[in-house]
Copies of this chain bind each other. A is one copy, B any other.
Amino acid sequence: MSILHLFDILGTIAFAISGALAAMNKRLDIFGVLILAFVTAVGGGTLRDVMIGYTPVAWMRNFTTVLTVFGAYVVILFAKPYVHHFKKTLFFFDSFGLGAFTVTGIAQGLAFGLHPALCVALGTMTGAFGGVLRDMLINEIPHVFRKEIYATACILGGTLFFLLQYFEVSRHLTEIASAVTVVLVRVISIRYKLYLPMIYEREA
């Protein structure tokens, strides 16, 4: 199993748990928690596949994902009271997932012969838009549009991908470096509390 595959699974777990916790905080029932876990974990890839026309979408082609999300869901149903002990672990899993998902999205775009800029957009969508759908379902303005460096990490990692490809670095190494960059940007930005700026609204 390649390192990216491992990142992908750890990320799926972290994304599913993030969706499940958000659902619990909104006092959804256990079906709502299940759906939120799924949507957060597979939503980004689903949006990507639907827009490029690669159907049935990813989670229908890959039963490992479905089982991973379901496993994470069952665990979190019982482990919720202890989840604060694992906050740091989950943050790292989430970052690994962000890296792996970004690279998957880019690879999919390349397989469809799309322009590098569109591939980076697809990578960012794969990494960050599961969380966007999660927040839409629980009736909140998406977190990724407001706080923290998140999508920016995908964009930077994605840009590095095409830089390395331009310099003819091997595809395998490119993918690893790109995913690791996403992880590093994310971790560093949290460590040093880096944010994207806002354009403030003045009173009219």
Query: A-side interface residues toward B, CB under 8 Å?
Result: 23-33, 35-36, 46, 50-53, 55-57, 60, 63, 66, 77, 80-81, 84, 112, 114-115, 117-118, 132, 136-142, 144-147, 151-152, 195-202, 204
* Complex: A20 Cα to B202 Cα, angstroms: 15
Q: How many copies does the complex hold?
A: 3
Q: In the complex, what's the smallest C-beta–C-beta distance from A142 to chain B, in angstroms?
A: 7
* Complex: A112 Cα to B132 Cα, angstroms: 29
Q: Flag if B51 contacts A53 (CB, 8 Å).
A: no
* Complex: A202 Cα to B24 Cα, angstroms: 10
Q: Flag if A60 contacts B201 (CB, 8 Å).
A: no
Q: In the complex, what's the smallest C-beta–C-beta distance from A6 to chain B, in angstroms?
A: 24
* Complex: A144 Cα to B36 Cα, angstroms: 12
Q: Which 4 A-B pairs have the closest CB atoms?
A: A53-B55, A32-B145, A29-B196, A28-B145
Among A32, A53, A118: residue with most chain B CB under 10 A: A32
Extra contacts besides A26-B141, A52-B60 (11): CB < 8 Å: A25-B201, A30-B199, A31-B145, A31-B152, A32-B144, A35-B145, A53-B56, A53-B57, A60-B114, A132-B137, A136-B137
Residues of B within 8 A of A197 (CB): 29-30
Given contacts A50-B50, A55-B53, contact A146 B196 (CB under 8 A): no
Q: Which residue of B lies closest to A115 (CB)?
A: B63
A-B contact pairs, 25 of them (CB 8 A): A23-B145, A24-B198, A28-B141, A28-B146, A29-B145, A29-B196, A29-B197, A29-B198, A30-B196, A31-B144, A31-B151, A32-B142, A32-B146, A35-B145, A46-B51, A51-B56, A51-B57, A52-B55, A52-B56, A52-B60, A53-B53, A53-B56, A56-B114, A60-B114, A136-B136
